[in-house]
Amino acid sequence: MRVIPILFVLATSIVAQQYDLLLKGGHVLDPKNNINRRMDVAIQGNKIAKVAASIDPSQAKKTVACDGLYVTPGLVDIHVHLYSSTALNSNLHGDSSSYVGFRAVHPDGFTFRTGVTTTVDVGSSGWRNFPEFKERVIDQSKTRVYAMLNIVGSGMAGRSKVEQNLKDMSAEDTARVAKQFPQYVVGVKTAHYAGPEWVPVDNAVKAGTLANIPVMVDFGSFRPERPFEELVTKRLRPGDMYTHFFVNSAPLLDAQGKVRAYLHEARKRGVKFDVGHGAGSFSWRNAAPVLTQGFWPDSISTDLHQSSMNAGMKDMLNVMSKILNNGVPVYDVIRMSTINPAMQIKRPQHGHLTEGAEADVAVLRVDKGRFGFLDSSGGRFDGTQMIVGELTLRAGQIVWDLNGRAGTEWRAHYEKRGARK
């Protein structure tokens, strides 16, 4: 007679624990869904199961206290370099400007610790070598990795020769490979060109049009023969992106230090401005006045590679902190790091915490104090806020836990393990 009640209690307990993980008590920032308040987030399997003002912890197998923390979508970094090729290694070929070698980084070692779950390698590979990049990096990474194909067929294998080769800038071949791998290729990139011609930009735009994907431009050398104003007001299409927005050489300010009118015109046309910090492409002389005048970037990105991460850039959260310390609210900083870049690469399934979406989540802390932030030339900006990555989930799995928030106190942990034995 006692078996039935016991079975009923066990069955009720199993049904009640319908969530694998509950993030409890955090301040949810989800700009796509206009959420900016304290809420709980429940995860089942690899999906966001529920976002609500209060979720009973008894319904979850594990609960992580997030009081005093921000719970956001997994961050989307749309400017990184991840392609370490065996065929074109910079150390072997003597071109230290190559990004197709040791300058590249493996994503999983540098993404999750900063809340990043989705990346875009921009132009490291071109149509000739994208298949190797896919096999060596995309297929091997827990981080979600997309690519923008370089308009140069051999990719970023050296500024001095490879990236200046106009004969290797085939719009048709680039579009063909992009359409061959539509689940991975999200854009076309042109970068580092030093000549006076518009060929790299025009061919990239042509390839983007043929494949129906956006273009990202690293303008390279700013030359009077191809004015920057013409790039953003005439050459680029709505949805195309200019990266390295705050590079020192970009003509963003007039003689009175005001944001130039053509930038507003370009934004009205639908051109997007991406940070793309990098090792040499972020100057406080441009960034501070442009930000404080309210002309904010559309997307925040790192231009992650070995040189940039050991210099002023550091990582995604450091770049976000720079924007935060220049008067941009944390809600908008998250918007520029999640749904905005996701939409710019035409991947609206990422960058939000909608119920049913894949559970890519970042739990962040904003510390108050005195902090210094370097630009690409060593100029320091003194700030009072620093964003820190506490916890990262990729597809529902905890892949970074700075302070062991999801762990069990060690004595209880080993008692539990002993009980299982």
Concatenated DSSP letters of 205-258: HHHHHHHT--EEE---S-BTTB-HHHIIIIISPTT-EE--TT-TTS--B-TTSP
> What are the tens digits of pLDDT across the range 243-295?
999 999 999 999 999 999 999 999 999 999 999 999 999 999 999 999 999 99
Q: Does domain 3-72+379-414 have CATH number 3.30.450.20?
A: no
**Rounded mean pLDDT of the chain?**
93
For the chain, residues classed under CATH 2.30.40.10 are 3-72+379-414
**Region 74-364: CATH code:** 3.20.20.140
Contact of 216 with 170, CB cutoff 8 Å: no
> What are the tens digits of pLDDT across the range 120-167?
999 999 999 999 999 999 999 999 999 999 999 999 986 667 889 999
Residue 109: per-residue pLDDT = 95
Rounded-to-integer distance, Cα 353 and Cα 304, Å = 25
Closest residue by Cα to residue 104 from 131, 126, 86: 86
> What are the tens digits of pLDDT across the range 175-199?
999 999 999 999 999 999 999 999 9
pTM here is 0.94
For the chain, residues classed under CATH 3.20.20.140 are 74-364
